[in-house]
Chain A
Amino acid sequence: MLQYTVRRLVSIIPVMLIVSVIVFLIVHLTPGNPAYLILGEDSSPEAIEQLEAQLGLDKPMVMQFFDWIKNIFTGDLGQSIYSSEPVTQVIMERVGPTFSLMMMSMALTLLIAIPTAIFVVWRRNTVLDPLFTSASLVGASIPEFWFAMLLVLGLGVAIPIFPVAGYVPIAEGFFTWFYHLILPAFVLAAVEIGLIARMLRDGMLEAVNQDYTKTARAKGVKESIVLMKHVFSNALIPTTTVIGVTVAGLLGGTVIIETIFTIPGIGQLLIDSIHRRDYPVIQGVVLFIAAIYVVINLLVDLLYAFLDPRIRYD
């Protein structure tokens, strides 16, 4: 297991290298000159040339790439063209809100999806099951931004229970932090709740008539415990993969949600930097998101082995 973990960690390096090449190319091949944007349309060609030299934009692209890669290995992602701060610092300042948002929506997803799935399977012979199946389908097909707007209008404007925008760090009080995040986190979770509850329900319905479930019932174990222990733990295994994909999907979702709810997170930083053609920051953020994605995948694989004793990687 340890060996496997180390091997997987090492395999991250080539993946990240490929990602960085792609990121670099995408950003540098899109038209638009950052020097123009910084100095304004009607600045003199000399001034622009000077700034390009200062930013290293006049060097051949290959050189720019190798500079960038070299610096990454020393932990230096360059400087923001816009604010002149180091990119790592700019990213770190935005990590808190994004992670808070993701954690909260993941927690919401699991807290709602798991009991729902168990309950639906418990009442599997009633009208509840087809009702649930359609509901989860609707949940999974709702566009995030539309649902966000709806909630903002409903619970932020019409009945102003929740704040519609802004972010308060957890350091300024758990409750205000929670209060500001709950609405965006719920929007972000909405799609995933349906998906995960559905996966769990399918897995549990399959496990519910398996022989080992019969053995548990024949022991005299309570049906509720049979479902929560024997059936659930088996259904969790296939669901884990989906949960991994979900967490990664949340990362993408934050870009939209942070913009709608004006949360100063990584997603908003990415959008702002694209508007500003702030190459170093764009590259840094995409690289950072890719790294998180890869790490989450690794964690899911390890979790998989932990949940299913039949899987041994060595």
Chain B
Amino acid sequence: MLEVKQLKTQIDTNEGVVKAVDGVSFTVEAGQTVGIVGESGSGKSVLAHSIMQLNPVPPTFYPEGEIIFEGKNLLNLSERELRKIRGNEIAMIFQDPMSSLNPVFKIGDQLVEAVLTHQKMSRQDARARAVELLTDVGIPDPERRMNDYPHQFSGGMRQRVLIAIALACNPKLLIADEPTTALDVTIQAQILELMRDIQKKYGTAIIMITHDLGVVSQMADKVLVMYSGRIVEEGSVEDIFYRPSMPYTWSLLRSLPRLDAEAHERLINIEGQPPNLVSPPKGCNFHPRCPFSTEQCLEVDPELTVRGDGHFAACILSGQEFDSEKKRMEFADKKGVPQ
């Protein structure tokens, strides 16, 4: 349904051209949930905005690649054609529900706008549809709440409203950019549950962007690990969690506290700084932080290679080499020898 091919998204800044997305390819099938994980600044949001063509142009530009959605390359569509897709076939929810609703309009009017932008119907019918949507996302007393303003809703309720807005036209693909990061733990779980219900009910495909590995493990059919604008590993939840095949993914998992820790503590924290995206390191982008890096990593820029059925990783180490390196590292760890 969606096929991203060798996409590059770059941003012109005073410091130089930021290579925020640097040759990313992946596919999303109808009804599938694809999780994208990566540290802060790895380009997840820019990638999500690229699919919707919502990055401001300029300073953003797309020097290479294709985004094929149902046979059409979104990068070649006119603004008008894009508008027909935005909110209608592909919808998006953003990270911060507190600031994503317009503070000066009533919730009902913001929903009605979403409905009427793509569907021809009377205002009255649109309001009825809006009430239905609010009911769908579990907002109590929806009729009355239509007339409330965003500041009268809690964060979790606002995220529900935003999901309702996204669902207004029964999109085929829903892009959720860290939909639960700004919410507290119990609300997070409720929102994820709601998204699963919606997917079951409407068969919507979901791209779930997060830096919370817990969220990915609960939701995703397929996981993409992003590092400095690239996909460095792709596989099923089992592949990523039990058979990580390159050092970055492995470090991510190792940085996970135990499962009994609070979900919001399960954030990624790896030693070192993410690379500068204006002039990324030569060779493998991860080499300055990689515990396994060798001379060769300074020269060779590894491509994604097959590691199993639907499992790909970008590292010069083969599966066997990586396994033995890993064992040595873990052994050293146990003995308390510094890496």
Contact = CB atoms under 8 A, between A and B. Distances in A.
Given A214-B54, A234-B104, A309-B104, A219 B99 contact: no
B96 A211 contact: yes
Contact of B94 (A211, A220, A309, A310): A211
Contacts of A310: 103, 149, 151
Interface residues of A, number: 23
Given A219-B87, A220-B87, A230 B54 contact: no
Contact of A309 (B86, B103, B114): B103
Nearest to B91: A218
Interface in A241-277: none
Interface string B92-106: 101010011111110
Nearest to A218: B92
Contact of B149 (A214, A220, A223, A309): A309
A106 B86 CA distance: 40
Contacts of B56: 209
Contact of A234 (B102, B151, B165, B168): B102
Given A209-B56, A211-B94, A220 B102 contact: no
Interface string B146-170: 0001010000000000100110100
Contact of A210 (B84, B99, B105, B162): B99
A222 B85 CA distance: 12
A8 interface: no
A308 B103 contact: yes
Given A220-B83, A220-B86, A233-B104, A125 B149 contact: no
B58 interface: yes
Given A220-B85, A220-B88, A309-B151, A211 B99 contact: yes
B134 interface: no
Contacts of B87: 218-221
A230 B102 contact: yes
Contact of B117 (A214, A221, A308): A221
B79 interface: yes
Contacts of B103: 212, 234, 308-310
Contacts of B91: 218
B162 A215 contact: yes
B264 interface: no
B215 interface: no
A125 B56 CA distance: 10
Taking each of B79, B100, B151, B165, which has the highest tally of chain A beta carbons within 10 Å of its own beta carbon?
B100
B14 to A, nearest CB: 15
B119 to A, nearest CB: 11
Contact of A125 (B58, B85, B168): B58
B325 interface: no
Contacts of A307: 104
Contacts of A214: 54, 94, 100
B208 interface: no
Contacts of A233: 102, 104-105
Chain A CB within 10 Å — which of B87, B118, B162 has the most? B87
Contacts of A216: 102, 113
B86 A218 contact: yes
A96 B87 CA distance: 53
A212 B83 contact: no
A122 to B, nearest CB: 13
A59 interface: no
Contacts of B104: 233-234, 237, 307-309
B100 A211 contact: yes
B207 interface: no
A215 B84 contact: no
Contacts of B54: 214, 217-218
B253 interface: no
Contact of A212 (B85, B88, B100, B166): B100
B67 interface: no
A5 to B, nearest CB: 21
A221 B96 CA distance: 20
Given A125-B58, A233-B104, A234-B102, A222 B96 contact: no
A120 B128 CA distance: 38
Contacts of B102: 212, 215-216, 230, 233-234
A228 to B, nearest CB: 13
B101 A220 contact: no
Contacts of B86: 217-220
A217 B52 CA distance: 9
B9 to A, nearest CB: 16
Nearest to A215: B100
Given A230-B102, A234-B104, A220 B117 contact: yes
A308 B105 CA distance: 9
Contacts of A237: 104
B22 to A, nearest CB: 23
Question: Can you list the 3 inter-chain pairs with the closest CB atoms, starting with the nearest?
Answer: A220-B87, A219-B87, A220-B86
Given A233-B104, A310-B149, 16 more contacts: A211-B96, A212-B100, A215-B94, A216-B113, A217-B86, A218-B52, A218-B54, A218-B86, A219-B86, A220-B83, A220-B88, A230-B105, A233-B102, A308-B103, A308-B104, A309-B151
13 contacts: A125-B58, A210-B99, A212-B99, A212-B101, A212-B102, A215-B94, A216-B102, A219-B86, A219-B117, A219-B165, A221-B117, A237-B104, A310-B149
